Homo-oligomer: A and B are copies of this chain.
Amino acid sequence: METTVKVKFWEFLREQGLRQTAQREAILDLFLDSGGHISPESLFNTVKRAHPHIGYSTVYRTLKLLAQSGLAQEVHFHEDQTLYDRKSEQHDHLVCVRCGRVVEFQFESVERLQSEIARQQGFLPQRRKFEIYGLCRECQQRTA
């Protein structure tokens, strides 16, 4: 079933007149394996094992393509580094400030609240960022 995602990316490339390459495939595979929330840096370090000569630029460029194709989404939990998240339905995140763990959640009520607030202020909402930062269960125990 990951195959389906892969095929979508190849289709996207074809539509854009772009090419299917070994590097792009390796990067896509790692991105999918990661289960989401991967940084260009760690992806680069991993992909180097299979492609020792690959450059950072190829990783960055491919990740941008994944974002354009709609398969990935850029997120910014840790201020100065971009992570790439697997795109599914609109969802939000809980981020542990100690261990960095990220848990996704999806609540109807967030959606409703967003529409409601935007309407009141005359905004036409397009997307949102809802991130709750705190301590996950494990880190609470290690602290207390």
Contacts and interface: CB of A to CB of B under 8 A. Distances in A.
Interface in A98-144: 103, 105, 107, 109-110, 113-114, 117-118, 120-137, 140
What bracket does the count of chain A residues touching chain B fall in? Answer: 35 or more
A118 B140 contact: no
A132 B120 CA distance: 13
A76 interface: yes
Interface of A: 74, 76, 79, 82, 94, 96-97, 103, 105, 107, 109-110, 113-114, 117-118, 120-137, 140
22 contacts: A76-B76, A76-B79, A79-B82, A94-B121, A94-B123, A105-B117, A105-B120, A107-B113, A113-B113, A114-B132, A118-B132, A118-B134, A121-B136, A122-B137, A122-B140, A123-B134, A125-B133, A126-B133, A126-B135, A127-B132, A129-B129, A129-B130
